[in-house]
């Protein structure tokens, strides 16, 4: 059973999608004004692991990750996020270039980083500036339904019009009224309302025509507009870092549910922060490390991936070079063990009853499927590798186990997203390749009688074939005698 901790329910709950077998998932992507750092990567890795866990179980996941290229203001730590200057405009002004050249450069950097980190690409990466029309339409709708109001070219969401406001973050209206540091926008009716559209001063570089005059969108509305455009009115999973819970995701729920009258999203999954010296790693604090910086110190993207997976996504994590060193060693161990078992020629067909390899695989998957418990699953994996190495030393690994290991190893590395170097695959005889091809066609045509016959032909030639979802795994039968 797959389960996740749902921020909205404040507990771990079993996963059940809205449509059987299909999952609609949205991830808040980067604000593209600086290099992607390890903190951002940590959040995207959580989303990636969720997707891999689900796909491994056969779910068809549609994943959207947006690119924020307008509307995210510098003081997003102050209450509703309506204070300060647009982050991208600020950078463009400082560097005396256009906002587009800033966003283009950092968007490219983001994609390269994700690729190197082996993060599965989202099915689409919509950009906020490409969806101004959808945002305007959504805002018009919210005004018509009296959830939003216009003052001097600005449009604000009236928080008092949505009774469930605060359910996600706990920042209910009552609490906001007495507690938070609220920005004093002169045009807001109430300081707890948030901006949907902001009037642009003449010198503002990014501005668009709207029914309320020239302006630019608030930060939160983009994700409501883009998730609706590409996933529909209700989705299964929404992810982001813990700083997104409030105000960003709270605002998304309010906007989306007020506009559609439907429940917006079932599972809200948030990654706790990656810290440096006890402080959130962030672009604005400039206390971050990019992937390039760690590569310059001799670590690979997979060393980083394994390091990030070694800590649970719901615990804060302190960045440390020591942890990277340990992961590097662990990865080497994985590579070595894989190589050893590939080279090992078993002398027994079947394992004796007391061997535990098959139960290991089962436990590995149930562990990681339990609220993405990657550290727990990795601990099991290291234990299994130790056992396996001891048994390889004693030459007591059976043919059956070797095959099971190689088959399950592919699933494990898929779910962990680890690219483990494999030595060049053994060249198969031409005859075997021909039969494999025929068998693949037979399986496509669901001709199981033929596929079974071809399996026997392969076995008669001294090889063993086993079926993975989209592939046939083949190894030489070291016990074969002709
Ligand atoms: P940003 O580019 O700042 O909008 O952030 C993009 C994503 O990364 C958001 O989901 C953030 O919540 C997340 N994020 C930013 N900093 C960190 C961090 N230090 N640790 C974990 N996630 C982060
Ligand atoms: Zn967002």
Which ligand number lies closest to the CA of residue 32? 1
- The segment(s) of the chain belonging to CATH 3.40.50.620 are 3-271
The ligand placed nearest to the CA atom of residue 279 is: 1
Q: What confidence tier does 30 reach under pLDDT thresholds 50, 70, 90?
A: very high
Q: Are 340 and 392 in contact (CB under 8 A)?
A: yes
Can the peptide bond before residue 247 be classed as cis, meaning omega within 30 degrees of 0?
Answer: yes
Tens-digit pLDDT profile for residues 445-465: 999 999 999 999 998 998 888
Task: Tokens 């990750």: give the residue.
Answer: 65
Cα–Cα distance, 478 to 344 (Å, whole number): 9
Which has the higher per-residue pLDDT, 23 or 465? 23
The residues, ordered by sequence, that sit 6+ positions from 209 with a Cβ below 8 Å of its Cβ are none
Ligand 1 atom with the smallest distance to the CA of 32 is 2
The answer to whether the CB of 191 is under 6 A from ligand 1 is no
| Atom number in ligand 1 closest to CA 40 | 8
Question: What is the distance in A from the centroid of ligand 2 to the CA of 255?
Answer: 12
Measured at the CA of 449, the angle between CA 443 and CA 452, to 5 degrees, comes to: 75
Q: What is the pLDDT of residues 148-178, one digit of tens each?
A: 999 999 999 999 999 999 999 999 998 888 7
Structure tokens belonging to residue 191: 């300081």
C-alpha–C-alpha distance, residues 141 and 369, integer Å = 40
pLDDT band at 187 (very low <50, low <70, confident <90, very high): confident
Nearest residue (by CA) to ligand 1, atom 17, is 39
The matching CATH number, chosen from 3.30.465.10, 3.40.50.620, 3.40.50.2000, 3.40.220.10, for 3-271 is 3.40.50.620
For the chain, give the mean pLDDT.
91
Residue 112, pLDDT above cutoff 80:
yes
**Closest residue by Cα to residue 140 from 155, 161, 160, 151:** 155
pLDDT of residue 78: 63
415 close to 407: Cβ distance less than 8 angstroms: no
């Amino acid at each position: 059973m797959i389960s996740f901790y749902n921020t909205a329910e404040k507990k771990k709950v079993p996963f059940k999608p809205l449509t059987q077998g299909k999952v609609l998932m949205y991830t808040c992507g980067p604000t593209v004004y600086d290099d992607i750092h390890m903190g951002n990567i940590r959040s995207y890795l959580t989303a990636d692991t969720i997707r891999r866990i689900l796909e491994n179980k056969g779910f068809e996941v549609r994943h959207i990750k947006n690119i924020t290229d307008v509307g995210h203001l510098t003081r997003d730590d102050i209450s509703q996020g309506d204070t300060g200057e647009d982050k991208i405009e600020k950078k463009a002004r400082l560097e005396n270039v256009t906002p587009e050249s800033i966003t283009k450069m950092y968007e490219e950097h983001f994609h390269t980083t994700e690729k190197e980190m082996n993060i599965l690409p989202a099915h689409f990466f919509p950009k906020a500036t490409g969806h101004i029309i959808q945002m305007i339409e959504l805002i018009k709708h919210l005004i018509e339904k009296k959830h939003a109001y216009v003052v001097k070219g600005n449009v604000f969401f009236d928080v008092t019009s949505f009774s469930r406001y605060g359910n996600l973050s706990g920042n209910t209206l009552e609490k906001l009224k007495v507690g938070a540091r609220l920005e004093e926008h002169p045009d807001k009716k109430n300081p707890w309302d948030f901006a949907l559209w902001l009037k642009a001063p003449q010198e503002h570089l990014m501005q668009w025509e709207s029914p309320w005059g020239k302006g630019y969108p608030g930060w939160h509305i983009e994700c409501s507009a883009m998730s609706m455009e590409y996933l529909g009115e209700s989705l299964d999973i929404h992810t982001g870092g813990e700083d997104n819970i409030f105000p960003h995701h709270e605002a998304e729920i309010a906007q989306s549910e007020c506009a559609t009258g439907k429940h917006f999203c079932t599972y809200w999954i948030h990654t706790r922060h990656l810290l440096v010296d006890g402080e959130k790693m962030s672009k604005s604090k400039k206390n971050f490390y990019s992937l390039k910086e760690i590569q310059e110190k001799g670590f690979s993207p997979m060393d980083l991936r394994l390091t990030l997976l070694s800590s649970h996504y719901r615990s804060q994590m302190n960045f440390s070079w020591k942890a990277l060193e340990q992961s590097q060693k662990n990865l080497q161990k994985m590579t070595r063990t894989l190589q050893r078992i590939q080279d090992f020629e078993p002398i027994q067909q079947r394992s004796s009853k007391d061997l535990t390899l098959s139960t290991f695989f089962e436990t590995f998957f149930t562990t990681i499927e339990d609220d993405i418990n990657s550290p727990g699953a990795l601990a099991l994996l290291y234990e299994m590798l130790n056992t396996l190495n001891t048994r390889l030393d004693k030459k007591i690994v059976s043919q059956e186990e070797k095959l099971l290991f190689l088959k399950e190893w592919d699933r494990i590395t898929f779910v962990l997203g680890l690219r483990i170097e494999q030595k060049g695959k053994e060249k198969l005889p031409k005859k075997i390749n021909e039969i494999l091809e025929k068998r693949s066609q037979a399986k496509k045509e669901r001709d199981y009688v033929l596929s079974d016959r071809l399996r026997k032909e392969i076995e008669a030639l001294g090889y063993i074939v086993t079926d993975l979802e989209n592939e046939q795994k083949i190894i030489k039968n070291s016990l074969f005698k002709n």
